[in-house]
Amino acid sequence: MKLAFSLFFFLFSVVFTALSLKFNFLTDSGRPDTGFFPLIIGFGLLLFTGLSVYHDFKERMKASEKSIYGKEMVWVAVFMTVFIFLLNILGSLISMILFIFSILLLFNREKMLQNISISLVIPIIIVVMFDFWLNASLPKGFLGFV
């Protein structure tokens, strides 16, 4: 996985540098133009991410980074993705309640009453804090309320 992550950065560097080449490096009068700094960064990225890929490829057998909680971490990331996806559909309050309850159901199954209370109380506090006290904009769902 470490090698894959280095490769990701290397690919990012290739795309970034290729896009930077579209911009002028210098103006007609020889002054640094729009592409000047991005190109320097791009070439720097190519050099160092390339070195990282080479180094990680050489040491790919050494790495052993397995965690027994990797799957649970993926579940948390998936729930977060669904949570953000639902914000503009169900509104922030219902999305928060569902998200908190789902996470607690995953990790705290034995205490349902506690899970239900936390899932209801925390979102209400957050809506009151952001929507009423801070007057911040919260996503509204199809029902038209936060």
φ, ψ at 134 (rounded to 5°): -90, -10
Structure tokens at 30: 């020889």
Token pair listed for 8:
């990701």
Stretch 121-140: interaction string toward another protein, x if CB under 8 A: -xx--x--xx--xxxxxxx-
Q: What minimum distance in Å lies between the beta carbon of 101 and another protein? A: 8
- For another protein, the binding residue among 18, 21, 84, 124 (CB under 8 A) is 84
Place of tokens 């999305």: 95
Residues in region 22-61 near another protein by CB under 8 A:
23, 26, 30-34, 36-38, 41-42, 44-45, 48-49, 51-52, 55
CA distance 78 to 93: 19
Q: Is 69 in the site for another protein (CB under 8 A)?
A: yes
Q: Does 100 participate in binding another protein (rule CB under 8 A)?
A: yes
SS3 label, residue 78: helix
d(CA 64, CA 30): 51
The Cα–Cα gap between 136 and 119 comes to: 21
CA 56 from centroid of its chain's CA atoms = 24
Q: Which residues of this protein are in contact with another protein, per CB under 8 A?
A: 1-2, 5-6, 9, 12, 16, 19-20, 23, 26, 30-34, 36-38, 41-42, 44-45, 48-49, 51-52, 55, 65, 67-70, 72-73, 76-77, 80-81, 83-84, 87-88, 92, 96, 99-100, 103-104, 107-108, 114, 118, 122-123, 126, 129-130, 133-139
